[in-house]
Copies of this chain bind each other. A is one copy, B any other.
Amino acid sequence: MMELTRKGEYAIRGIVYLAAQPAEQVCLLSDIATAVDVPQTFLAKIFQQFSKIGLVRSYRGTGGGFVLGRAPERITLLEVVEAVEGPIVPNRCVTGEGECSRTSTCNAHPVWVNVQEQVRDILAKVTLKELAGNQD
């Protein structure tokens, strides 16, 4: 239960690598993919998702590549994970889709809400700066 998918793992590796680079350093996708050991085409998809929501900025053409969208201390692990894995929802009944209306009062509901909040809270407190700190 609760497993981060490989995509999520790759996403973290990739963006942490970017965060560890000097500010405004444009990185080639191919270089990132090699460095963090992720299939380039797969990482491309992930970075496209990052790009759409501004976690990274992309430049096309010669001299192009990727740069972190904001300062590493202003990007949280929660944002990164939710960008590729979708919202953190331990149980469908938390999304309020009416799934839970089986019994009028589902006693488990508040538990899942609690789990969701705690996890989001933990991930929201970790920034890319911390994750990128003192790497080789």
Contacts and interface: CB of A to CB of B under 8 A. Distances in A.
A27 interface: no
Interface in A119-136: 119, 122-123, 126, 130-136
**Most chain B CB atoms below 10 A, which of A2, A5, A116:** A2
Contacts of A134: 105
Contacts of A122: 111, 114-115, 118
Among A1, A37, A105, chain B packs the most CB atoms within 10 A around the CB of A1
A4 B1 contact: yes
Question: Quick one: which of A13, A82, A122 has the most chain B CB within 10 A?
Answer: A122
Contact of A2 (B2, B16, B114): B2
Interface stretch (A46-54, A56-64, A84-92): A84-92
A73 interface: no
Contact of A12 (B9, B16, B108): B108
A93 to B, nearest CB: 8
Contacts of A104: 136
The 3 closest A-B pairs by CB, nearest first: A1-B85, A2-B2, A107-B131
